[in-house]
Copies of this chain bind each other. A is one copy, B any other.
């Protein structure tokens, strides 16, 4: 669970509600027509702009902004070293059984390709294409929220223009000008919230998640190719750790020493 996402969104909503209650009341901010034009219009334009599949996938990706268990690069490297040891001692075919127990689909698929005796060049080709597609899909998800963040204020403004035009067209009752204009401005307020409180943070967090996941998968790819090439598990470990940030690497030290001891 990503507590920061919950905390950030919650705190943001709290600040807004607190600020509203300071000199007004919440009911003035809930207006059915305004919701329709701002949220409905933004949603409609996004449906228009993206294929249905991409949209569904993006919606599902919001879940990962809030609930996320970062893959532990430690564990990943340990798994790969284990696989390398098996491959060395019992041969590549012995990996099949181990592969069955892997939780990561990407790793499992790559190991199965190796077990099948696929040409190394083709293994790299297939896995790199897969990686490129994962990255593309991530970028697609981010792009949905980026577009939404640009369309939200746009429809907010359209709503405010509608409110202003309606108000200006019949100014007979001067006392209605204020409240009418307040309602008109509410859509701009909604649009700003869509952009600043939701879409910008979601896009940003998805971007960071994506780069973390791609890095882990690159480590896996490098590791699997080394296993196929029959490299020494210790050298594989050193190579893989070079992919990790210094801070993460420190935690691996003990592992390495244990591993060296065992070998």
Interface on A for B, CB 8 Å cutoff? 2-5, 7-12, 14-16, 18-20, 22-24, 28-29, 32-34, 36-37, 40-41, 43-52, 54-55, 122, 125-126, 129-130, 133, 136-137, 147, 150-151, 154-155, 157-159, 161-171, 175, 178-183, 185-186, 188-189, 192-193, 195-197, 200-202, 204-205, 208, 238-239, 242-243, 245-246
Contact = CB atoms under 8 A, between A and B. Distances in A.
A249 B4 CA distance: 37
A156 to B, nearest CB: 9
B195 A154 contact: yes
B185 A50 contact: no
Contacts of A50: 4, 204-205, 208
A165 B186 contact: yes
A172 to B, nearest CB: 9
A46 B33 CA distance: 30
Contacts of A161: 185, 188-189, 192
B28 A41 contact: no
Contacts of A183: 23
Contact of A125 (B12, B14, B168, B239): B239
Nearest to A19: B37
Given A16-B41, A125-B239, 12 more contacts: A4-B50, A7-B44, A8-B44, A11-B47, A15-B40, A19-B37, A41-B197, A51-B208, A126-B238, A154-B200, A161-B185, A168-B185
A80 B6 CA distance: 49
Contacts of A238: 122, 126
B9 A48 contact: yes
28 contacts: A2-B51, A4-B47, A4-B55, A8-B44, A8-B49, A10-B44, A11-B47, A15-B40, A15-B41, A15-B44, A16-B41, A19-B159, A22-B166, A23-B180, A24-B169, A29-B165, A41-B196, A49-B200, A50-B204, A50-B208, A51-B205, A126-B238, A147-B200, A147-B204, A158-B197, A165-B182, A168-B181, A169-B182
